[in-house]
Amino acid sequence: MSELYEQISESILDGDVRQVTELVQEGIDEGLSAKELLNDALLEGMNEVGVLFKDGELFVPEVLMAARAMDAGVQLLKPLLQEGDVVKKGKIVFATVKGDLHDIGKKLCIMMLEGAGYEVVDIGMDVPPEKIVEGIKEHNADIVAMSAMLTTTMAAMKESVEAIKENALYDKVRIMVGGAPVSEQYAVSIGANYSADATSAVELANELMAV
């Protein structure tokens, strides 16, 4: 049984959608627990992807392939998972800030966060501060994550944090920011928490949610 879990994890690392689908189906046919297949095989594989990505041994295209393979396995398990099998660590609203149309970094973070057990609501690109505030309220978010890939759009992060404060949400929601031009120093200066990459985003979310 643990051998099958290992094979599934390795297939996630290889980004092999067909192999993951076949192996997960094999596990289902053998009557293995959907919860265990999710946690001990799929999520285990995705955690390993996160570690290798952080160490520079995997790159963005390979992480995207791994996430696609994991998603294929999750889709097979979804009908079999009971309420409570999937413990969500928290809800995250994620936006690329106003003026910025970059999406790949955000997508990568979302895949890693979902793989780590967070419910993530992507509210899009070029999102103005008032829409970010709306998203937090509408989805009752635990965390709001913002991405900026241009130096010129970093100011929109500061405006968004100020809007969160003006709407009395600053004490209710944790704020994560990241992107190529963003630094730890800038994050602190605007009252947010900094994450350098997709793997760090998971570590930071866990830290903020104390899980």
57 in a structural domain: yes
Distance of CA 203 to CAs 91, 94, 191, 206, Å? 15, 16, 19, 5
- Asked whether residue 38 falls in the same domain as residue 115, the answer is no
- Asked whether residue 114 falls in the same domain as residue 150, the answer is yes
pLDDT tens by residue, 193-205: 999 988 899 999 9
- Asked whether residue 129 falls in the same domain as residue 51, the answer is no
Domain span at residue 73? Answer: 2-80
The CATH number assigned to the domain holding 73 equals 1.10.1240.10
Q: What is the pTM for the complete model shown? A: 0.78
pLDDT at position 1 is 57
85 in a structural domain: no
- Asked whether residue 98 falls in the same domain as residue 47, the answer is no
- Asked whether residue 121 falls in the same domain as residue 205, the answer is yes
H-state helical runs in 55-98: 60-77
CB atoms within 10 A of CB 83: 5
pLDDT at position 188 is 98
- Asked whether residue 8 falls in the same domain as residue 63, the answer is yes
86 in a structural domain: no
Burial of 151 (0-12, 13-18, 19+ CB in 10 A): exposed
Mean pLDDT, residues 40-46: 90
Domain boundary among 80, 103, 133: 80
Say how many domains are in the chain.
2
- Asked whether residue 104 falls in the same domain as residue 172, the answer is yes
- Asked whether residue 137 falls in the same domain as residue 204, the answer is yes
Mean pLDDT, residues 37-43: 90
